[in-house]
Amino acid sequence: MADEAKPISPIKNLLAGGFGGMCLVFVGHPLDTVKVRLQTQPPSLPGQPPMYSGTFDCFRKTLFREGITGLYRGMAAPIIGVTPMFAVCFFGFGLGKKLQQKHPEDVLSYPQLFAAGMLSGVFTTGIMTPGERIKCLLQIQASSGETKYTGALDCAKKLYQESGIRGIYKGTVLTLMRDVPASGMYFMTYEWLKNILTPEGKSVSELSVPRILVAGGVAGIFNWAVAIPPDVLKSRFQTAPPGKYPNGFRDVLRELIRDEGITSLYKGFNAVMIRAFPANAACFLGFEVAMKFLNWATPNL
């Protein structure tokens, strides 16, 4: 069970979550670029090697061809979106917990924490979808050799000109399918690990930095274990030419399994898992540090 040392403040969750999200992007974006390029690379021709043989090959080629900036390609979109996105994510989790409490001191069960986490996934979809759409297009653009978009704002402008708001929000259903269950797993696992790692006689709020990093990093791994298949479908769908998949994710799923087998749903698995621990450890550490500061600076907020 989760130990609620203080009354839940969705507003503090909002502010601390934004800071945690910024920490996550700075640490995790290079491997996110690798993940998207692996997920969207075209099938190799008979007798020809694939564009990237794996995570480390993609990382090496990107670094060699484009320098360190290549690994941070498309980061403007998540940086612009990540603060409000993670702010809303943690706000949704805080609100989800608060809504399930009859009294402020009530301790929530793990299924209740999972439900609160799922609510956070619903909250973030409106911000997440356009940011992911722009990020993925910019990340694959460099490896394709074309320069259709000069940056995140130019990409958003051209998408709107071509297809209206629907073009910017392409992939909304798949983002929901990815983030709702994955967010439930994310927050539930983090709270569970915090409780396990708290020494007997101590409060969860006194957890040391290394233990917070472990809890956050492992929670990120559990999150992505759930999220990878819909994330692969989302990346393919969001970067496909207009009209390629008229029936949405069903067409993407059918094509992937037919052409590349069921294992194609786990493309980018190594990149995701290598990224998941440090990025999410940084996220939750940033969140906890910001929350401690807010509790000190504004105890009545």
Mean pLDDT, 10 residues at a time, over the chain (301 residues)?
60 90 86 82 80 86 87 76 83 91 86 95 88 86 75 90 92 93 96 92 86 95 93 90 86 91 86 87 93 87 77
> Per the domain annotation, does 263 fall within a domain?
yes
pLDDT of amino acid 145: 67
Q: Which domain holds residue 18?
A: 10-40+50-297
pLDDT of amino acid 144: 67
Q: How many domains does the chain have?
A: 1
> Per the domain annotation, does 4 fall within a domain?
no
pLDDT of amino acid 2: 43
CA quadruple 119, 194, 108, 105: dihedral positive or negative?
negative
What is the CATH number for 126? Answer: 1.50.40.10
> Per the domain annotation, does 87 fall within a domain?
yes
> Per the domain annotation, does 45 fall within a domain?
no
> Per the domain annotation, does 34 fall within a domain?
yes
> Per the domain annotation, does 126 fall within a domain?
yes
pLDDT of amino acid 218: 96
> Per the domain annotation, does 3 fall within a domain?
no
pLDDT of amino acid 190: 96
> Per the domain annotation, does 138 fall within a domain?
yes
pLDDT of amino acid 142: 65
